[in-house]
Structure 1
Amino acid sequence: MKTFSRSALTLLISLSVGLAAAQINAAPLTDRVDRPSHLTANAAQFPLIDIQSINDRQVMVGESGHILLGTADGKIKQVDVPVDLLLTAVHFVDPQNGWVVGHDGVVLHSTDGGQHWIKQIDGRDISKTMQVWAESALADAEKASEAAPDDEDLEIALDNAYFALDDVEAGSEAGPSRPLLDVWFRDVNEGWAVGAYGMFIHTTDGGSTWNYVAALPNPDRMHLNTVLGLTDRTLLVGGEGGRMYRSQDNGQSWTASRNPSQASIYKILELKDGSLLALGFGGELLNSQDQGASWTELQSQTRVSLYNGTQLADGSVLLAGQRGTLLYSRDGKHFNVWKSKSSASWLGVAESSPQMLMLIGSKGLQRLSLSELKEQLQ
């Protein structure tokens, strides 16, 4: 059985180590969450972590606060961003409204298709939100324990509440930490973001304010790597150690999904036919036909980690992975492996036109002809 030990977060952190060290001498000693990203002519060669197609253009996010916009004619534009840290995920709900999350608990928002961005919150704000939650949970636990002082379960719950508050206070001392790894919005008002060490937050006002989600059964605070809402309004979360969670009441309560593997899940995709793919560590590839209630393993034909993917206009599926690996499928169930000459890890893929793909990863942006890929798979 495949196992995993936090390499998803390690990969994202390692991408920024070299550049962060170089910037120590080049930039003022201002926290990276408070200083703007630098514009550079070669931004497309820096590590890029996530990509989303919006009509005929793409939005890419990555290292050093870089946000790039790609157009149908192949041009790439870097835009001003108010933070200088690793950005990990992007989600637009329509051509104008989008959110980006990243390290130090940062959440960015755009209302003009990614041309301009504002910072909504960072890890300091999340710490304050968690402090309010922890204090409220402790007060409730104390009240319940006082009403039934001989109840051992309530005594354990009280001890856990004290521990949770101590843990929040200790985490707050580190400053704006609390990395976020994925974000998904249902509409312009309601969205969720997940991250390292069990971080899970929810907003109902477009990101102006966020609340900590404590309902997820994740007592060990495993990393949460991906969040997705389905067309039937089911919510799914996947993460470290194969943890998979499902909610059918808009996140009020959660149940653990049946998963045959302990391999960590990095991304969940919903295909046009309603089926789901979950991909992750060591070539892990799962399929669900019941909105994530249960999962079965598919043969991925590879042991390299799979990080992201997309369904192309013709219905075929393309998954991006480690060491230059792409997985291609015509039916979303049977996959062929394609490997580039580059050793770069592909972290995302998008279709920029019917015959052109945009691949992003540890070595930035590269383009690949879809016809070339198909020819080499024959």
Structure 2
Amino acid sequence: MVGEEMNKLLCAVGLLGLLSLSQNVFAVRFEDVSTYLTSVSKAGNRLVAVGEHGKVLLSEDNGKHWQSVEGGVTNTLTAVRFFDDREGFALGHGGTILKTSDGGQTWRAVLQGAQVAELTREAAARISSDSQLGHKASELELYAQRLDKSEASDPLFDILFFGTNKILVVGAYGMVLRSDDGGDTWQVWMAHVENPQESHLYAIAQAGDAIYLAGEQGYLARSLDQGRTFLKLKTDVGSSFFTLQVDNQGKILAAGLQGILVLTVNQGGSWTRLDTGQIGTLIDSEKDDRGRIYFADLNGRLTRLVGNTLTPVQNADLPLSAFVIDSEGAFVIVGASGIKRITVDKEISTGGAGHEAL
């Protein structure tokens, strides 16, 4: 139900999940994990990971040991993000949005399935008499009808917290959801985004007063009015973008398929393609406490941006979906084969003790 490039990406991740895991994995071993993990985030001093079949894992010691908690859903969760050490959200297939107010110990669904189709119809009715947006009402009606026929909602991929209690979520087929009350209620916001091809949206980030969207086939868009409207940006790039980062000087970086990495220093007015020296798909990125930006590809290779060059840091030697830099400066990596924790040039091993089967 997704586009050609998304199919390629999901197939790649699925095949990688069949590979055996090296002996260096600790705490959560390959034989203990029956599902593949898609995302990991910090919640204060706690780490929270999510994945297939609604799996939610917590670690209280920087990823050395993990325990499973009940997420309340069985569909795949694709992303987890925290606003602070207690409030966070997990996104997933079927238009799922879960919310936690206790650092991931308990979760409740704030959006699921058929609700997305109904919200799409409400959005169509809301803009039907708008002189600028009214022409998009019929498109939203068709979108809702497609959701009805499929008896499911498309997957969601990324979330942004901005302003006071304001949240934006992006997903497949151009889905954009907005909340102005901390995630308790939602509106479909697609009509406010210039995305005529309904390109999949994989990432969202804020830089100063601007908010950026990134997606398939080189799609990038920008909002200069606190997310009320987004205009498409010209990049002359046809490769999909899967991750966005903002450096401490306000530069915006978008990375993705086959190592594509582009940079803008003028709020997206123009983009420069950087020579990354690699063809591996850049799937995730993180910024550490010192402002250094790291990227990771699907094969587990970690690199750091030095100037306009990606410098090799470490090879995790396992299929990678996402990573986070913990409070000790180590990389906690999740993917199709479990969890690994490494530092630069030195892997941390806990001897595999003190964990429970997950």
Larger Rg belongs to: 1
Instruction: Out of 182-191 and 281-290, give the one that drifted further.
Output: 182-191
Residue of structure 2 equivalent to 1:149: none
Supply the distance in 1 between the matched residues of 2:77 and 2:307 (Cα, whole angstroms): 29
Residue of structure 2 equivalent to 1:288: 264
**Residue 334 of structure 1 aligns to which amino acid in structure 2?**
T
Instruction: Out of 305-314 and 67-76, give the one that drifted further.
Output: 67-76
Residue of structure 2 equivalent to 1:46: 35
Query: Given that residues 6 and 223 in structure 1 are in contact (C-alpha distance below 8 angstroms), is that contact kept between their aligned partners in structure 2?
Result: no
Residue of structure 2 equivalent to 1:269: 245
1:333 aligns with 2:323: no
Supply the distance in 1 between the matched residues of 2:162 and 2:259 (Cα, whole angstroms): 29
The CA deviation string for residues 208-264 of structure 1, in whole angstroms up to 9 with x for no partner, is: 21111111111111101111223x231111101111000011122222223231111
Supply the distance in 1 between the matched residues of 2:11 and 2:88 (Cα, whole angstroms): 24
Which of 331, 356, 360 is the aligned partner of 2:334?
360
Q: 1:61 to 1:299 in 2, by over 3 A?
A: same
Supply the distance in 2 between the matched residues of 1:100 and 1:341 (Cα, whole angstroms): 25
Q: 1:332 to 1:191 in 2, by over 3 A?
A: farther
Supply the distance in 1 between the matched residues of 2:323 and 2:142 (Cα, whole angstroms): 41
- The structure with the greater share of residues assigned to helix is 1
Shift of 1:180: 0.7
**Residue 129 of structure 2 aligns to which amino acid in structure 1?**
D
Residue of structure 1 equivalent to 2:200: 223
Residue of structure 2 equivalent to 1:67: 56
Equivalences for 1:72-83 in 2 at 5 Å? 72=61, 74-83=64-73
Residue of structure 2 equivalent to 1:7: 5
1:55 aligns with 2:44: yes
Instruction: Out of 181-190 and 127-136, give the one that drifted further.
Output: 181-190
Give the secondary-structure state (helix, strand or coil) at the position aligned to 1:258. Answer: coil
Query: Given that residues 246 and 293 in structure 1 are in contact (C-alpha distance below 8 angstroms), is that contact kept between their aligned partners in structure 2?
Result: no
**Residue 130 of structure 1 aligns to which amino acid in structure 2?**
T
1:172 aligns with 2:170: no
Q: Number of aligned residue pairs: give it.
A: 332
Point out where structure 1 has 5 or more consecutive residues left out of the alignment.
20-39, 145-152, 374-378
**Residue 54 of structure 1 aligns to which amino acid in structure 2?**
A
What TM-score, normalized by structure 2, do the two folds share?
0.83
**Residue 88 of structure 2 aligns to which amino acid in structure 1?**
G
Shift of 1:136: 4.2
Give the secondary-structure state (helix, strand or coil) at the position aligned to 1:286. Answer: strand
Residue of structure 2 equivalent to 1:181: 157
Query: Given that residues 91 and 185 in structure 1 are in contact (C-alpha distance below 8 angstroms), is that contact kept between their aligned partners in structure 2?
Result: no
Which of 176, 181, 188 is the aligned partner of 1:212?
188
Shift of 1:111: 0.5
Give the secondary-structure state (helix, strand or coil) at the position aligned to 1:100. Answer: strand
Aligned-residue CA RMSD (Å)? 2.9
Residue of structure 1 equivalent to 2:88: 98
Residue of structure 2 equivalent to 1:129: 119
**Residue 49 of structure 2 aligns to which amino acid in structure 1?**
M
Identity of aligned residues (%): 26
Point out where structure 2 has 5 or more consecutive residues left out of the alignment.
18-28, 348-358
The CA deviation string for residues 61-86 of structure 1, in whole angstroms up to 9 with x for no partner, is: 21111122222352212211110111
Considering Cα pairs closer than 8 Å and 6+ residues apart, tell me whether 1 or 2 has the greater RCO: 2
Supply the distance in 2 between the matched residues of 1:335 and 1:134 (Cα, whole angstroms): 44
Shift of 1:336: 2.2
Instruction: Out of 89-98 and 45-54, give the one that drifted further.
Output: 45-54
What TM-score, normalized by structure 1, do the two folds share?
0.79
Supply the distance in 2 between the matched residues of 1:17 and 1:104 (Cα, whole angstroms): 23
Shift of 1:14: 7.1
Query: Given that residues 44 and 84 in structure 2 are in contact (C-alpha distance below 8 angstroms), is that contact kept between their aligned partners in structure 1?
Result: no
